[in-house]
Amino acid sequence: MENNKKPVTQVIINREEHQRLHEFATALETIAKKLKEEGTFHFTEGNHTTPITPSDNLKVEYSYEIKGDKHSFEIEFDWYTGQKEQAAFKIE
């Protein structure tokens, strides 16, 4: 019998809060600037800081849903630790 145990999901950050549009846009700008310049950004809550350091190769998902009066737009990006950018592939 094979041992096909899946890794346990660790929830590091799970936070919801109400923000003004300008505050949210500023947070997105900060994340984008830090990723471009340093390749990392940090979430700080109280005295606990969590670094987020994605690899160069990302899987990115955008989702926009409407249910009645509620609109939901999500941006999600996934990566694997130590994953390097894939070499270019072409057929000639």
Q: How many domains does the chain have?
A: 1
**In-domain check, residue 87:** no
Residue 35 to residue 52: CA distance in whole angstroms: 9
**In-domain check, residue 33:** yes
Could you give the C-alpha distances from 92 to 23, 88, 89, in angstroms and in order?
A: 49, 13, 10
**In-domain check, residue 91:** no
**In-domain check, residue 92:** no
**Domain interval for residue 30:** 21-78
pLDDT of 67 reads 98
**In-domain check, residue 38:** yes
pLDDT, one tens digit per residue, over 18-71 is 999 999 999 999 999 999 999 999 999 999 999 999 999 999 999 999 999 999
The predicted model scores a pTM of 0.78
